[in-house]
Structure 1
Amino acid sequence: MPVLHELLSAQAVRDEAGIASLCEGQTLTFGQAEVHANRIAAGLAARGIALGSRVGLHLSRSLHLMPALVGLLRAGGVCVPVDPEDPAERRTVILEFARTDLVLTERALLTAAYPPGTIVVAVEDLLAEKADFTPVAVGGDALAFVFYTSGSTGVPKGVMLTHQALVSGQYWLQDTFDLKPGERHLLRTTLSITNLVREVFWPLLHGGTAVVVPPGDHKDPDRLVEIINATGVCNLLVVPALIAGMLQNPAFAANTSLRYVFCSSDVMPGALAEEFFATGPGARLFNMYGLTEALYASNFECLPGVTYDGFVPIGHAAELTPLILDDMLRPVPDGETGELCLTGTGMASGYDRLPELTTAKFAYTPAGRVFRTGDLARRTADGGFELHGRMDDQVKVSGYRVELGEVEARLKTFPGITGAVVSGRRGAGGHQRLIAHLTCSGPAPTAADLRAHVARHLPAYMVPAAFTVVDAIPLTHNGKVDRRALAGQDGHLIHLAETHQEPRTDLERYLCGLWADVLDLARVGVHDDFLALGGDSIQGFLIAAKANAKGIGLSST
């Protein structure tokens, strides 16, 4: 089995003139991408990058992304992606903890904040050097990526993935869905999540084209529909909330190029699948389940004419083998609930410099080495799997994993906050938002100050939507936070708006009702702040689409 960067070399030999990637009307052929990747690899090698060197990748989505990533790996480097949209402090923490030897970026981002002493080089400058490259022997067991996710201790944790683990997943995708040379994938992922691997390397495996979504457009449903229709995309991977927004656009239903639409990274409401077949394009729809540590765990094909109560099932085994085990890691009888564990080639090696956590989450059983997901699940009568909640305090918000402890730790650094408990609250439409309960040593801070404090250090999806001050955090008999009691406890809700103002006109009543419907709230006032109510950019685009469909010219920005 080849390593990741060899996929481009093989494709460049098969179809040198084929289109590897496309962005805003500009193209890059497989042959050109191969030349660019070798130049980047040579430039990195000249700066000391060798087998096992950690290289931060801090790039916007563009035609540079594919050759930069391939060149980094070809030089023997281990890619540590950092998202340009994340706060500078989070980027610095990740790069420092990962002990990166160099950061590969672009000229527009050279002035961004990096750890002191970091070597920073722009991909454009490496491409201009045109140095010769001496190949580096990279084996399948070599580390390829370290993806940093939210950590329960307050610090992000790095998930280590080898070439073999990631290539195995790409072969499973291609064997299962059999895409043809020249067929087009949408590349819209942020750099810091594992979908980056799928959206760059699956097209290379079968000779497809990656249609790169420009920065800023990846959360705009209308813009995505426009790009998909204009470029003939056949393969689309998005979070459920984005599909909901795209279905509001009549042009999406008119699409004729899409073959596969994949929903992942969050639960899919059953009503969304039904709406897709009623008003969407004629593509097949799949619900995918996986984690950063175990990417392709299960998949489920939704079918037209079928009603799904609650949420769509996660389906049957994919590249990995799911097991339902008890607390002693023994199989539970079919139909009983246990912890969902995964085994197979496409699993992470462990957590970067966290041996105790690695030992706890990656266990050895008679079935082999397994990853303990922390998800409660049971096997269904048809041999599939369905989820029944979590064993810990981890939630998904807008498709991103959030360890509640990391948000709590940040809130406790605000002056006067003596205690913080953060919970996930999912609305009827499936969207989840964070709710913080706080104890204070003095007067309660404002919601605006709390939001600003968290946003300076954590990504936007980790900023709580609501803050409630309580007298004390209730505990169970063994000293743990009693979240059930806390949810029912009265407290002082900190509002961003000083007073609630009911809507006065028909337009205000419609817009407040629309906000309340999309955000799953009992009421919305005229002066309420969208972000403070738990809204995110995807929901903002959805609200704008619904309003525009009624003839109300509403911008999502």
Structure 2
Amino acid sequence: MMDVYEAIERARSRAPHQPFLATRERNLSYSQALDLAASLAGSIATAGALDRPCVIQAIEIDACISVLACLRLGKPFIVINPASPPDRIDYYITDSGANVLVKTAESGLVASSLPCDDQGWRTAVEPASSVSCLIYTSGSTGLPKAVVCPREAVSFAVEAIAQTLSYRRDDVVLTALPTFFDFGLYQLFLVGKAGATLYFASALESGLGLGEALQRTGATVLPMVPPAAEKLARLVERGLSRNAVRMITTTGAAMDEGTRRTLEDAWDPPVDLRVMYGLTECKRVAIMPPYESTRRPRSSGLPLPGTTVTIRPHDQDLVLSPDEVGEICVEGPHVMGGYHNQSDLTARRFRRTSHTVVLRTGDTGFLDADGYLYCLGRDDDQFKVQGYRISTSEVVAAAKAAGGVVSAAVVPPAPGRRYTLFFEGDAEPAALSHFLSEHLEPFAIPQHIQKVAHLPTNANGKIDITQLERTQS
């Protein structure tokens, strides 16, 4: 199995002048991008030992160059949102034990040393030198948790996804996905492996200016979360031309049926719509085969080649039969190493047996008789907005830290319903919203904040989320 960086270097050897990373203002060939990565790698190595992570606080091409530099060195990396509040950035640095920070400056990418203790870096995977990256995702304890991604698991996931999606050397993959989101990060890996071109679309180019962007770039593949697919469907209904688009991939939440039909039926020949399901803990679980979503509109597809998906009762090891509903469980070389600094949670979610590791996803679903996976939802307190996983506990904890909030509850979004934070207390919604904007990631900020005299409770004394949902119906 080829290492990700080795695969990208091989793409350069085949076509050094092939465009690799691009925006409207900037275009780097494979040779140019990897030369910049090599130069930055020297600065990173000087700034800190290779046995601790590097935090990358950059976007688009700069983020990609930084990732490539770390891959070249074999140094673990963490890509974070530069727009994150300062206390959240401090948390990422402290929790990860990073010793280097890479940021975009006027002079270009700059690597600087970070203070850290003298003890060796330890994480869920041994040896620590085998770790490719840490990816932070929402946790159930109020703060994000870091999934430890070993190099071998990442390489296997990239190989299996590439085998299934078949990106081509002449593909132009147009994305608005940020690199700190694993769906966006893996676009770099998949494109680089194929020797294709990755184009980062601006907000305008991924919205009303999409038609012009498709025509100008010759984009052939559009990876997007379902809300972006819904916007695309509306543009298609208004007459948007497909130009060279041959495939759309989507993951992060269930796709609306009307959106799916629009994207499949509007163009002739039909576009290859690939619905996918996955989670950071194993990257990808299932992908719909080509042109199959029409026959199985609610399915997320088949498990990745070389992996196994089973359905089991929650907290039981019994494997259920086809069409029986239970917890989706995953086995295979793509299962990541666990959670950084969270051994108890790792033991609960990554169940080790004598011969394998079974990832308990916390998601409910079933397999049909043909092996197609159907995901029905989550059983924990997490939900997704625009493809990003959000923890209700994290949002509630942040709201209570604001002061003037006695109790709070979150109602996730649904068709016809906004993502809403309800609270009791003396705080004012506008002030609370401002506080949350300084302490949560931008995508985690509630779309609506509503103050109530009393939060309803059920017979068990717990906040009655169902009743709160009805107030928005």
1:182 match: secondary structure: coil
Q: Which amino acid in structure 2 is aligned with residue 248 of structure 1?
A: R
Partner of 1:92: 90
Change (3 A) 1:174 1:416: closer
Q: Distance in 1 between matches of 2:291 and 2:71?
A: 39
TM-score between both structures, scaled by the size of structure 2: 0.88
Q: Which amino acid in structure 2 is aligned with residue 277 of structure 1?
A: E
Partner of 2:72: 74
Change (3 A) 1:439 1:111: farther
Query: 1:400-415 maps to which residues of 2 (within 5 A)?
Result: 400-415=388-403
TM-score between both structures, scaled by the size of structure 1: 0.75
- RMSD (CA atoms): 3.0
The answer to whether the 8 A contact 1:362-1:370 is kept is yes
Q: Distance in 2 between matches of 1:394 and 1:111?
A: 35
Partner of 2:120: none
Partner of 1:197: 185
2:288 match: secondary structure: strand
Q: Distance in 2 between matches of 1:204 and 1:398?
A: 25
Q: Which amino acid in structure 2 is aligned with residue 357 of structure 1?
A: L
Change (3 A) 1:419 1:284: same
Partner of 1:238: 224
Q: Deviations over 1:4-38 (max 9, x none)?
A: 22222222222222222222254222222222221
The answer to whether the 8 A contact 1:96-1:115 is kept is no
Q: Distance in 1 between matches of 2:293 and 2:251?
A: 22
Cα displacement (A) at 1:92: 2.0
The answer to whether the 8 A contact 2:7-2:192 is kept is yes
The answer to whether the 8 A contact 2:273-2:293 is kept is no
Cα displacement (A) at 1:402: 0.5
The answer to whether the 8 A contact 1:221-1:243 is kept is no
Q: Distance in 2 between matches of 1:158 and 1:109?
A: 31
Q: Deviations over 1:246-282 (max 9, x none)?
A: 2333587422311210011111011111111233574
Any stretches of 5+ residues in structure 1 without a counterpart? 119-138, 491-520, 523-557
Query: 1:406-555 maps to which residues of 2 (within 5 A)?
Result: 406-427=394-415, 433-440=418-425, 444-464=426-446, 465-477=448-460, 480-485=462-467, 487=469
Partner of 1:43: 43
Matched, 1:4 2:4: yes
Q: Which amino acid in structure 1 is aligned with residue 41 of structure 2?
A: A
Query: 1:332-347 maps to which residues of 2 (within 5 A)?
Result: 332-347=320-335
The answer to whether the 8 A contact 2:12-2:195 is kept is no
The answer to whether the 8 A contact 2:130-2:150 is kept is yes
2:406 match: secondary structure: strand
Q: Which amino acid in structure 2 is aligned with residue 57 of structure 1?
A: I
User: Please, which of 251, 254, 258 is the counterpart of residue 241 of structure 2?
Assistant: 254
Q: Deviations over 1:206-226 (max 9, x none)?
A: 211111224x457x4223443
Identity %: 22
Q: Deviations over 1:426-477 (max 9, x none)?
A: 115xxx742223232xxx4322122112111102322222324242552554
Q: Deviations over 1:131-176 (max 9, x none)?
A: xxxxxxxx99811111111122111111111121111122122222
Q: Distance in 2 between matches of 1:454 and 1:461?
A: 11
Query: 1:137-152 maps to which residues of 2 (within 5 A)?
Result: 142-152=130-140
Query: 1:221-236 maps to which residues of 2 (within 5 A)?
Result: 221-236=207-222
Q: Distance in 2 between matches of 1:111 and 1:258?
A: 33
Partner of 1:360: 348
Cα displacement (A) at 1:195: 1.7
Matched, 1:54 2:53: yes
- Give the number of equivalent residue pairs: 457
Q: Distance in 1 between matches of 2:407 and 2:114?
A: 33
Which protein has greater RCO, CA pairs closer than 8 Å, 6+ apart?
Answer: 2
1:211 match: secondary structure: strand
Change (3 A) 1:450 1:178: same
Partner of 1:273: 260
Q: Distance in 1 between matches of 2:211 and 2:49?
A: 40
Cα displacement (A) at 1:304: 8.9
Cα displacement (A) at 1:56: 0.5
Any stretches of 5+ residues in structure 2 without a counterpart? 117-126
Q: Distance in 2 between matches of 1:276 and 1:370?
A: 35
Matched, 1:283 2:271: yes
Partner of 2:124: none
Cα displacement (A) at 1:485: 5.0
Structure with bigger gyration radius: 1
Q: Which amino acid in structure 1 is aligned with residue 441 of structure 2?
A: P
2:143 match: secondary structure: coil
Q: Distance in 2 between matches of 1:116 and 1:54?
A: 10
Q: Which amino acid in structure 2 is aligned with residue 295 of structure 1?
A: K
Change (3 A) 1:166 1:140: farther
2:234 match: secondary structure: coil
Q: Distance in 1 between matches of 2:319 and 2:396?
A: 35
Partner of 1:534: none
Cα displacement (A) at 1:106: 0.8
Partner of 1:389: 377
The answer to whether the 8 A contact 1:274-1:304 is kept is no
Q: Which amino acid in structure 1 is aligned with residue 187 of structure 2?
A: E
Where in structure 1 do 4 or more consecutive aligned residues deviate above 6 Å? 109-112
The answer to whether the 8 A contact 1:3-1:140 is kept is no
Q: Distance in 1 between matches of 2:277 and 2:198?
A: 23
The answer to whether the 8 A contact 2:173-2:198 is kept is yes
The answer to whether the 8 A contact 1:149-1:156 is kept is yes
Q: Which amino acid in structure 1 is aligned with residue 449 of structure 2?
A: A
Q: Distance in 1 between matches of 2:20 and 2:387?
A: 27
Change (3 A) 1:371 1:196: same
Matched, 1:30 2:13: no
The answer to whether the 8 A contact 2:22-2:28 is kept is yes
1:31 match: secondary structure: helix
Q: Which amino acid in structure 2 is aligned with residue 227 of structure 1?
A: A
2:369 match: secondary structure: coil
Q: Which amino acid in structure 1 is aligned with residue 275 of structure 2?
A: N
Query: 1:288-307 maps to which residues of 2 (within 5 A)?
Result: 288-301=276-289, 303=291, 306=294
1:49 match: secondary structure: coil
2:439 match: secondary structure: coil
Q: Distance in 1 between matches of 2:405 and 2:235?
A: 44
Q: Which amino acid in structure 1 is aligned with residue 427 of structure 2?
A: P
Change (3 A) 1:79 1:333: same
